[in-house]
Amino acid sequence: MGSIILEARDVRYRYPRGMEAIRGISFHVRRGERVALVGPNGAGKSTLLLMFNGMIRPDSGILLFDNEPLAYDRDSLRRLRRRVGFVFQNPDRQIIAPTVWQDVAFGPTNLGLSEEQVRAAVEGALGAVGLAGFGRRPPHQLSSGEKKRVAMAGVLAMDPDLLVLDEPTNNLDPAGSEDIMELLDELGEKGKTIFISTHDVELAYPWADRVILLRAGEILQEDSPEVAFGDPDLVRRARLSVPALLELHRELERRGLSSPGRRPRTVLDLVRSVEQATRGGGARPPCGAIHVCNVDVTGREALARWLSAHDGISIGAMGTRAKQRAAGDGLPLDFSYGVIDKCMLSALNGRSSLILTVGGMVAQVEQRVARFREESGAAIDVRRVEGA
Amino acid sequence: MYEELLEDIAQGNALREVSPYLKLAVALGSILLCLLSESFVAPLAMALLLSLGVLLLARVDPRTYAALFAAPLSFALVSVGVILLLSGGADPLWGWQPLPWLSVSLTRESINEGILVLSRMIGGMSALIFLAVTTPMTDLFLVMRRCGIPEPVLDLAMMIYRAIFLILDQLVQTYQAQRMRLGYSSFGESIRSLSTLCGSVFIGSWIAGEDLVRAMDARCSAGKFAMPGDIQPVRAGPCLAVSAFLTMSALLVAITGSITVI
């Protein structure tokens, strides 16, 4: 468990001539954690988030970043905002420059970086969000999802330690939401601490390491997602709904169709739980294999040859670069979000699949499948594709 | 959404990768030569070449180009009508005095003057439209920075450019919401709807402005806007073409200086 990066101690805030928006909130966030602040509209989520980078100063209580109380003089705020990247709910309100390049370069330029450093930061950030080559485009010609990515790139270019996102999937279509969550997963894997606010329980439930339920400026519950969302009364009081997966698990459990105990976080967990409850001592059918291909070292022709030898195999892509490669090679993707889980589900069903990914994520796939193999006893093989 | 239309054409035109310096040279050079020309021939010839450039090289849709030309042309024709009838001259071809203090006449001089002004307007408009549909504002900002326009002026211009599209978007949404609820259905209602529209867009712009400051603060704003260092380079082929166009146009201006309609 990492050290504490952000802490709030009995924080209160009242809008001028308004009601008290934040009523004595205390919590902490550790390095590398993925935390979701979940609550209904008007719960005070955005207000609380704006305190993290000093945009709003609490009336009382203390906020600490890296164990230092927040200071509100100009220089301290600049230092803080360099380390706490904030992505607004509406990207149109965040994108300020006439071109994508200029917008992403805004933060690094104002930090006083050299031209070369600015250029490197912009190219790195645009590459990370999958918008390489978009630099000269004006923001008004982009889709909502692309604008959101530009807003994220603008923040990533400053290389913050903590990434705060207010309703990251608001106004996005399901595919756009999946892309953004996949991007957040990627950033999480790279060690960024990520704090999001949302009222979408289906989004927060499988993604977050920890969930903070907020209602009317107060914390109702703060725990792992399966505990925080596991109490229907609490969820109702927070004007939210129980995630569909948890509800389904509860009903299956009552009917003896799912094994009691740990609540499932993903469809894979639920399938395993159902299999355990229903199969008894029966033998498991043979599992399919998961092939992993590092697209950075596997050429187009080598991959095409491999695919022609494995006709009809399901293909998933993890990470922005892998997805771009798939699009460039004209490969239709069966899975683009939650790829490892979906491939393991296929494997449990006796079907093999291919995951396109890059660099360190190959090892991540192997570790994740090995962990599942140990827990479930399912003999799923992970094989590296030639050249990977 | 006229502004967006122009900017979108410019972003996608086939001359996008030609250096903005060259396109600016074509436009400014053409306007200058049109003003210097004493004959209608050179401005019209330049207008023809520039229009062919827009249609064939930049591959702008002819109907869109015609629509872009039509609006300013109508103003030009009205102005030329006034010149034709009121500028007078020594050699009247037709005259009429409807009131003791008002006489209108067509003279040899007024016809020549009117045609020259019209041709200059057509030439100048062609040059401006050529620039507008081939060079996005984002490229012109770069040129302006290189030309030493003060940073605060340019930064403000860039923020205004970005804000135009946001405000335009809000304007269209509010307008559509009003139309859907029978706004603008009568003259009185139109006045009321328009005033509500203005109020709503003003408040929206105000809020957007506050958000802009907040967004800039959140990214450590010190009032600096970055400019990408690279700009489309001046390549030999287009440079030769532009030089040839301007030289030929200048020669035409010199040769045709004495040609008049009548």
Reported as a single tens digit per residue, the pLDDT across A155-166 is: 999 999 999 999
List the single residue in A with minimal CA-CA distance to B158. Answer: A98
Interchain contact, B220 vs A82, CB within 8 Å: yes
Could you give the count of Cα atoms lying within 13 Å of B52 in the half-sphere of its Cβ? Answer: 6
Q: What is the ipTM of this complex?
A: 0.79
Closest CB to B224: pick one of A109, A139, A155: A109
Tell me which DSSP letter residue B136 carries: -
Interchain contact, A107 vs B219, CB within 8 Å: yes
**Looking at residues B92-98, what average pLDDT do you find?**
80
How confident is the model at residue B4, as a pLDDT? 52
How confident is the model at residue B2, as a pLDDT? 46
Higher-pLDDT residue of A27, B7: A27
**Looking at residues A51-61, what average pLDDT do you find?**
94
Q: Is A80 on the interface with B (CB under 8 A)?
A: no
How high is the mean pLDDT of chain A?
90
Q: How far is CA A238 from the centre of its chain?
A: 23
Q: 3-state SS of A277-346?
A: HHHCCCCCCCCCEEEEEECCCCCHHHHHHHHHHCCCCEEEECCHHHHHHHHHHCCCCCECCCHHHHHHHH
- Partners of A155 on chain B (C-beta within 8 Å) are 219
Burial B111-130 (b: 16+ CB within 10 A, else e): bbbbbbbbbbbbbbbbbbbb
- Partners of A94 on chain B (C-beta within 8 Å) are 215, 218
Q: What's the angle, vertex CA A196, arms to CA A21 and CA A164, rounded to 5?
A: 90
Burial B219-250 (b: 16+ CB within 10 A, else e): bbbeebbbbbeeebeeeeebbeebeebbeebb
**Looking at residues A106-122, what average pLDDT do you find?**
92
> Which two structure tokens, joined as six digits, stand for B229?
């260092």
Q: How far apart are CA A130 and CA A325, in angstroms?
A: 11
Q: Going edge to edge, which strands form the sheet with A20-30?
A: A20-30, A4-14, A60-65, A68-69
- Partners of B166 on chain A (C-beta within 8 Å) are 92, 140
Burial A175-210 (b: 16+ CB within 10 A, else e): ebbbbbbbbbbbbbeeebbbbbbbbbbebbbbbbeb
Other Cβ atoms closer than 10 A to A358: 19
Closest CB to B220: pick one of A78, A136, A138: A78
How confident is the model at residue A185, as a pLDDT? 85
Return the beta strands (E) in chain B as ranges: 92-99, 102-107
- Partners of A55 on chain B (C-beta within 8 Å) are 214, 217-218
With cut-offs at 50, 70 and 90, classify the pLDDT of residue B182. Answer: confident
pLDDT at residue A154 above 90? Answer: yes
**Looking at residues A212-225, what average pLDDT do you find?**
94
Q: Which of A169-178, A301-310, B107-116, B121-130 has the highest mean pLDDT?
A: B121-130
With cut-offs at 50, 70 and 90, classify the pLDDT of residue B107. Answer: confident
With cut-offs at 50, 70 and 90, classify the pLDDT of residue A388. Answer: very low
Q: How far apart are CA B26 and CA B110, in angstroms?
A: 30
With cut-offs at 50, 70 and 90, classify the pLDDT of residue B125. Answer: very high
Closest CB to A86: pick one of B166, B218, B225: B218
**Rg of the Cα atoms in chain B:** 24
pLDDT at residue B177 above 60? Answer: yes
